[in-house]
Amino acid sequence: MCGPADSYPPRQYFVLTDAGKPVFNSRSMSRDPDELANIIGIMQALISVFLDDRDKLRCINAGKTRINFLVRSPIYYASVSSWGEPESVTRSHLEYLHLQVLSIVSGGQLRRIFERRTNFDLGRLLNGAEILIHSMLDRVQDDLAMSTSSLHCLRMDPGLRSRVASALLPSSRMKDLLYIILIGRGRVITLVRPRKHSIHPADLHILMNTAHSPSIVNSSASASWLPMCLPKFDASAFVNAYITFLQPQPPTPPPENDLSAEGTSTDPSSVCLICVSGNGDFESVRTWCDTVYKKLDGDGTLGTILDSIRTGATEYSVSELSIPGLRHFIYKSRAHVQITVPVYEDPYDTDNEQRRLITLYQILHDNIHAKSGQETPLKLQYIKTQKESVMGWITQPFELYITLSPWMPKSAAIHAANSVARWVKKEESRLFLRDAPVF
């Protein structure tokens, strides 16, 4: 198993059709068109050779560099990385890349298009959506919730979370609403859904990436209404997503020359409301969302949430746990399919050190779940580097990945893991979304 790299050059991602037509590449602005055509041609030929033999090309290892492939005909995906992560990690990136493409062009559309024209130029159809794909690739590389196929909820007083959920419950007239999600600081505050539908974490990540993509965050519009496919819900059909960023109304209108209020409605750190509907009745959804906004703003709930975010009350440090040598951890509640993590602090307060730590977590996760062809999964794994010791531990109620000072003995890691589990259990009502209402 490769370990984390010393440096982290940008990973490269490629999308092409099975006819060899380029669709997307993550460094298109800096790559010579002839060089790109040659690379795409070689990738298409390699994949085709294996498919002709009724086999699939999964990856190529070349020194510290690994090239991963994902075949989702009529589209092929490839990634190039030298970060030292397990094969399963970049393969999951390619899966998310595929899901993001499907959110724009549904599986049903793709099938019909390529049945009619096998050499169709999909890149032209996705023209303008590149910013959304780039945003997904940026998120998937360091989002620990995506790495663990889970949700990351905003730390919050359970009474406040319950008030929010009550405000989001739709009336009986809103029969085609599928999901209502409130997000703060890029994390889930609450989620309301029909009794007969759960939401797959991947679909939620697609929604969150779409809502926080630059094209929507920087939009001057007060709300966006987007047709999109949620692949895990139904890969062959579209739903409609109403996305709006919420800010409290000022008590009095600002003076005409006061520009301080401009742009606050799309501040990415503000609260985002997403309503997913099965029909195209924009006006009824907009009217209902306006009513929700008035409820949250009128009773001060929205202001309380935003104050908590601005003051840092929604974050926590490992110092709160008072566990000697503990530097960081990821705790995943398997029952809730949710994670909680503390903020990154010294010595993980630089991009490179965070990437190195994330890669160590990914190695643990990969080995524990036997995701890259290992013979059997593990219940516990301990790794010691020159800079830290890390341990992954899976039990029936939780998964836990902890980072400790390298000077701590292995027995201290076991003690620290038990202490983290006890602390999370005590804080569970604030850290996780439990008993979300259904309608």
Q: Give yes or no for a cis peptide into 347 (omega within 30° of 0).
A: yes
Indicate which CATH number applies to the domain containing 132. 3.30.450.70
Q: What is the CATH number of the domain that holds 273?
A: 3.30.450.30
State the Cα–Cα distance between residues 431 and 156, nearest whole angstrom: 7
User: Could you tell me where the beta strands, DSSP code E, fall in 174-230?
Assistant: 177-184, 187-192, 223-228
Side chain identity, residue 408: M
> pLDDT tens digit string along 146-190?
999 999 999 999 999 999 999 999 887 777 899 999 999 999 999
> Do 307 and 322 have their domain in common?
no
Return d(Cα 416, Cα 152) in angstroms, integer: 22
Q: Are residues 302 and 389 in the same domain?
A: no
Q: Given this model, what pLDDT does residue 253 score?
A: 53
- Do 384 and 275 sit in the same domain of this protein? no
Residue ranges for the chain with pLDDT beneath 70? 1-2, 28-31, 250-269
- Pair 384, 393: CB distance under 8 Å: no
Q: Is the pTM of this model over 0.75?
A: yes
Report which DSSP code applies to 99: H
Same domain for 297 and 161? yes
Separation CA 148–CA 119 (nearest Å)? 36
Q: Do 43 and 86 lie in a common domain?
A: yes
Q: Three-state SS for 18?
A: coil
Residues 333 and 374 in one domain: yes
Cβ neighbours around 61 below 10 Å, total? 10
Nearest to 336 by CA among 168, 439, 194, 188: 188
DSSP per-residue letters across 409-423:
-HHHHHHHHHHHHHH
Among 311, 337, 372, residue at a domain's last position: 311
Alpha-helical (H) ranges within 4-143 are 33-52, 87-104, 107-116, 122-125, 130-140
What is the number of domains present in the chain? 3
**Is there a domain that residue 100 lies in?**
yes
Element (H, E) at 298: helix 282-298
Same domain, 204 and 116: no
Question: According to the model, what pLDDT value does residue 12 have?
Answer: 95
- Token pair for residue 411? 């027995």
> What's the CA gap between 422 and 134, in Å, rounded?
39
Residue 261, pLDDT score: 38
Are 203 and 258 contained in the same domain? yes
Q: Are 200 and 90 in the same domain? A: no
Residue 96 shares a structural domain with residue 54: yes
Q: What are the residues whose beta carbons fall under 8 Å from the beta carbon of 46, sequence distance 6 or more?
A: 57, 60, 69
For residues 237 and 206, membership in a common domain is answered with: yes
- Is 438 within a domain? no
Q: Which domain holds residue 48?
A: 12-141
Strands 338-340 and 151-152: parallel
- Domain shared by 102 and 117, yes or no: yes
Of 263, 281, 311, which one is at a domain's C-terminal end? Answer: 311
Q: Which of 114, 141, 168 is the last residue of a domain?
A: 141
